[in-house]
Each structure stands twice: as C-alpha cells, then as structure tokens.
Amino acid sequence: MRRFVQCHPEYAHDSVVTSSIAFDLLDVCAKIGEGAMPCPELLGEVKVEPMRGQTGYQVPLKSDSVDAQKRGDLLRRYARRSSKDSERACCGRGSDGNAQEA
C-alpha cells in the first residue's frame, strides 16, 4: 500500500493521501480481492479465483436497502446451513447428506 501511494502520479510526497489516491488504492485492492488483478508481491504463489465473469455487474452494498427483519432472517438461515455443513463434515457425510467412503 505504501509503495502504491508513493508511486501514485498525484502523490506530492507530503504524507497527504488525497481522496483520488485513496480511491485508486481501494479500486486496486478490490480488483486483487476479486481475482481480477494478480498481486504476487502481496499473495506470493496464491492465485485468487475471479469472483465474477466479464459480464458481472459492480453492485454497491447498501445496508439500508434490506430491512432489519429480513437481514436477521437471512443471517439465521446462513447460520443453520453452516451448522448443518459442520455436522456433515464431522459425521463423514457429504453435502448431499450421504455417507462418504474413506
């Protein structure tokens, strides 16, 4: 991150990170995290698989677009699903619920 800021064409070497520099930095971080841009100096040999195809839409996340009741219901469903997956893994069952062979 420091190298990115120091090499940014708008950085005046005055310890001030302007909003445009911050935007560019966050944009690159998002691309690295989504697998759209490799970063071997940060991740080494780890390759992040792309999260969406070339036709994917960039959709901003807004916490105010989902009411609290619906958000709570969704989180409870995720938690139940996660606990079921953990139980299957513990009991030697696959995602389909059937016993797996060793």
Same structural domain for residues 42 and 70?
no
Same structural domain for residues 67 and 44?
no
pLDDT, one tens digit per residue, over 34-49 is 888 899 998 888 888 8
* Position 93 pLDDT exceeds 70: no
| Core vs surface per residue 19-53: b (16+ CB within 10 A) or e | eebeebeeeeeeeeeeeeeeeeeeeeeeeeeeeee
pLDDT at 9: 97
Domain range for 90: 63-102
- 35 residue type, one letter: G
Specify the CATH number for the domain of residue 26. 1.10.8.960
DSSP 3-state of 99: strand
Residues in CB range of 69: below 8 A, 6 or more apart: none
pLDDT, one tens digit per residue, over 49-64 is 877 666 556 666 666 6
Total structural domains within the chain: 2
C-alpha distances in Å from residue 67, one per residue of 23, 60, 73: 29, 17, 10
pLDDT at 22: 97
pLDDT, one tens digit per residue, over 20-31 is 999 999 999 999
